[in-house]
Structure formats: C-alpha cells, structure tokens
C-alpha cells in the first residue's frame, strides 16, 4: 500500500496542453474519485498515474518515490479497465493469475491466490470458463479479481461500471466499496457519474477543462462548492442557477438553489411559477416549474405530492441553503 503525490503534473500532446498544473496528495488507503465531464482529462490523469501515458511536466510520487519514468510494471499498480480488457483466449483463472505467472511465482501459490480472490468475488464456479462465456457483471468481477491477486500498492479503476445495467451498477458499486474497506488499499476511481462519486469516495476530485476545480469530501463539495461548475456538477438533480432580478436581490450575479432546497410557499413571499412536468419517484416528486425571469427550475419535494402539469405553484428558496456566485463563478461569502 502507498499514498500518491501529484506535483505540478501536466500533459501535452504536441503544443496542446490537456492537463494543467495538477497538484494533489492522496493518502495511503484513501478512496479518491476523479469526476468531471467528458474530455476533462480525468482518464488521461489516471493513465498517467498508471504509466500508460507519458508525463510531460511535473512529478508523480508513489509511496514517496518519483515514478515518472517507471514502467507500469515497476509502479506496482493494478488497473480495472472500462472495457474489462480480459484476455479472451485465457480462462478466468488464467486471466486472474496472469500477472503472477509473469513473476514466475510457484503454481500452487498462484492457484491459492486466484482461489482466494475468486471466493471473495463469488467467481469460484467460473474459474475454468473463458471470458466470452460470462455475463457483463461476471466479466467485471474477473477484471477486479485480476487486480486483487497482485496485492498492488494502488488500485486504479477507469469507469468500471459504465458498461453495466443500472441494477448491476449499483450492486457492483456497493461491492467495490466493501472491497476497499476490506483491503484498505489506495484506490483511484474515474467516473463521469457524480452519483458514483458521491456514494463511494472518501474524497472527490472535480476536473474541468484539464484543471482541478475542487478537491474535498462529498459533503464538502455538496455544501460548499468552490465554483459554479462544481455546484452544477455535484448533486442530482442538478442545482438551479438563476440570474437577473432574483440574483440581484441577494447581491449575486448568479443565485444557486438545489432542487431539494425549495419550499412550496405562499403567494406573498414566493416565486410564482407554472408546473410543466411532474416526475413521481415515490419517495420524491420532481417538478419542473417555469418561473418568469428565472427559467425552468427543477424542484425536488420529499414524499408524494399531488401537483399536476399546468398548476400554479409558489416556490420559496430556503435562505440558509442558497449559493451566491460572482461574475467569475466563485462563491460570495455570506
């Protein structure tokens, strides 16, 4: 196990710099999630840590040792790929034991480690099967198993759940979190899904346009976003951003209100709007409300409500939860 340190790390393809001045320290045993929209550089950053992309600026320290020029093999890391990348000609057992066989470990030791990993991932009955004979979820487990048997210093996971269906995704999400708790190994997880980031991470690193926007625990990011971008990216449904007269009244360029931070109010102190769409989720009711001068706002009401499309509704933002941003998209202190 080891911690990582990224010092002024940058990546350029020719003249085009795609990652700029990345500074980040990841503690030993921490579960860190890189999150951001497509093209923000999160996968490139992960691949630089893995040794699959050349580092063009700055330093990468794994366990305190500068690792810029080390091959993936020398970094002692394991990676789970989005596409699983299982060797199709090998059985599950051979896939999982491949790295150990390259190290010329004794066959008995390889078999024992593979069996242990397979048992922990409920893959025991499939050890003699080829990847082509497995379901998507089983393949994903094999990919994780292949990483586990090496007992690496650092686990890297590149959008490992994106090829699974919704039900399997949430199930595997829990399993990965349990795995981390059991192994206590440093894990870096890349995703574009902020729900995955919020539910799994000790700390989240939000990337945008090749820069780190904010690093913090899920609740820090949710409650105290450092930028308008982070405020919009973290939280589901997304935060509402309102400009114009409503923002002016609180002295901000942009007023941010999370959908769950509206109360249905009375006519005198509230924003009047018309319901344009209703999503009934059972535990929550999501309303899309068109408010003059504010646009269409998303409102999440706890429990079941009887509003219908076309109804007039009065919304009151909860003052203690509103976010105020200036011209630069930075928060204005209360």
Could you list the residues that contact other proteins (CB under 8 A)?
50-52, 71-73, 77-79, 81-83, 85-89, 98-99, 102-103, 146, 150
285-306 exposure pattern, b = at least 16 Cβ within 10 A, e = fewer: bbbbbebeebeebbbbbeeebe
For other proteins, the closer of residues 89 and 272 by Cβ is 89
CB of 73 to other proteins, least distance (A): 4
What element of type H or E holds 52?
Answer: none
Burial of 105 (C-beta count, 10 Å sphere; 0-12/13-18/19+): middle
What does the alpha-carbon distance between residue 255 and residue 231 come to, in Å, rounded to a whole number?
11
For other proteins, the closer of residues 162 and 170 by Cβ is 162
For other proteins, the closer of residues 72 and 295 by Cβ is 72
For other proteins, the closer of residues 102 and 166 by Cβ is 102
For other proteins, the closer of residues 12 and 52 by Cβ is 52
CB of 146 to other proteins, least distance (A): 7
- The dihedral through the CA atoms of 44, 50, 55, 57 has a sign that is positive
What does the alpha-carbon distance between residue 118 and residue 33 come to, in Å, rounded to a whole number?
25
CA atoms within a 13 Å half-sphere pointing along the CA-CB vector of 7: 11
CB of 79 to other proteins, least distance (A): 5
CB of 169 to other proteins, least distance (A): 20
> At what angle are helices 92-102 and 107-120 packed, to 10 degrees?
130
CB of 227 to other proteins, least distance (A): 33
Yes or no: say if 219 and 235 are a contact pair by the CB < 8 Å rule.
no
H-helix segments, the chain: 42-50, 72-75, 92-102, 107-120, 136-148, 166-183, 194-200, 218-223, 228-233, 245-248
What does the alpha-carbon distance between residue 328 and residue 109 come to, in Å, rounded to a whole number?
58
What does the alpha-carbon distance between residue 182 and residue 120 come to, in Å, rounded to a whole number?
10
What does the alpha-carbon distance between residue 10 and residue 59 come to, in Å, rounded to a whole number?
9
CB of 86 to other proteins, least distance (A): 8
**Interstrand relation of 154-158 and 186-191 (parallel, antiparallel or unpaired):** parallel
For other proteins, the closer of residues 147 and 206 by Cβ is 147
CB of 150 to other proteins, least distance (A): 8
CB of 145 to other proteins, least distance (A): 13
For other proteins, the closer of residues 106 and 282 by Cβ is 106
For other proteins, the closer of residues 12 and 278 by Cβ is 12
CB of 106 to other proteins, least distance (A): 17
For other proteins, the closer of residues 52 and 301 by Cβ is 52
Burial of 131 (C-beta count, 10 Å sphere; 0-12/13-18/19+): buried
Q: Please state the separation of Cα 198 from the chain's center in Å.
A: 7
């Amino acid at each position: 196990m080891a911690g990582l340190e990224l010092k002024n790390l940058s990546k350029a393809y020719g003249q085009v710099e795609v990652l700029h001045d990345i500074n980040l320290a990841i503690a030993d045993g921490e579960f860190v999630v890189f999150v951001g929209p497509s093209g923000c550089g999160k996968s490139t950053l992960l691949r630089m840590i893995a040794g699959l992309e050349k580092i063009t600026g700055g330093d990468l320290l794994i366990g305190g040792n500068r690792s810029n020029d080390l091959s993936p093999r020398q970094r002692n890391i394991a990676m789970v790929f989005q596409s699983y990348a299982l060797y199709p000609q090998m059985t599950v057992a051979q896939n999982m034991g491949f790295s150990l066989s390259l190290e010329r470990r004794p066959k008995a030791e390889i078999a024992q480690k593979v069996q242990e990993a397979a048992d922990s991932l409920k893959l025991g009955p499939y050890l003699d099967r080829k990847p082509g004979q497995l379901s998507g979820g089983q393949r994903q487990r094999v990919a994780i198993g292949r990483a586990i048997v090496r007992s690496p210093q650092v686990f890297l996971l590149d959008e490992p759940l994106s090829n699974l269906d919704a039900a399997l995704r949430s199930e595997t999400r829990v399993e990965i979190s349990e795995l981390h708790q059991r192994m206590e190994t440093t894990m870096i997880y890349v995703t574009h899904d902020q729900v995955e980031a919020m539910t799994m991470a000790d700390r989240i690193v939000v990337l945008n346009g090749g820069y780190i926007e904010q690093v913090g625990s899920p609740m820090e990011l949710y409650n105290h976003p450092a930028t308008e971008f982070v405020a919009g990216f973290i939280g589901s449904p997304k935060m509402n951003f309102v400009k114009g007269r409503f923002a002016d009244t609180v002295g901000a360029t942009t007023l941010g209100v999370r959908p769950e931070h509206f109360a249905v109010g009375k006519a005198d102190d509230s924003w009047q709007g018309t319901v344009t769409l209703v999503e009934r989720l059972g535990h929550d009711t999501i309303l899309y409300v068109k408010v003059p001068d504010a646009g269409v706002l998303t409102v999440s009401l706890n429990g079941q409500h009887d509003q219908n499309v076309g109804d007039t509704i009065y919304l009151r933002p909860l003052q203690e939860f509103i976010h105020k941003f200036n011209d630069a998209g930075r928060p204005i202190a209360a």
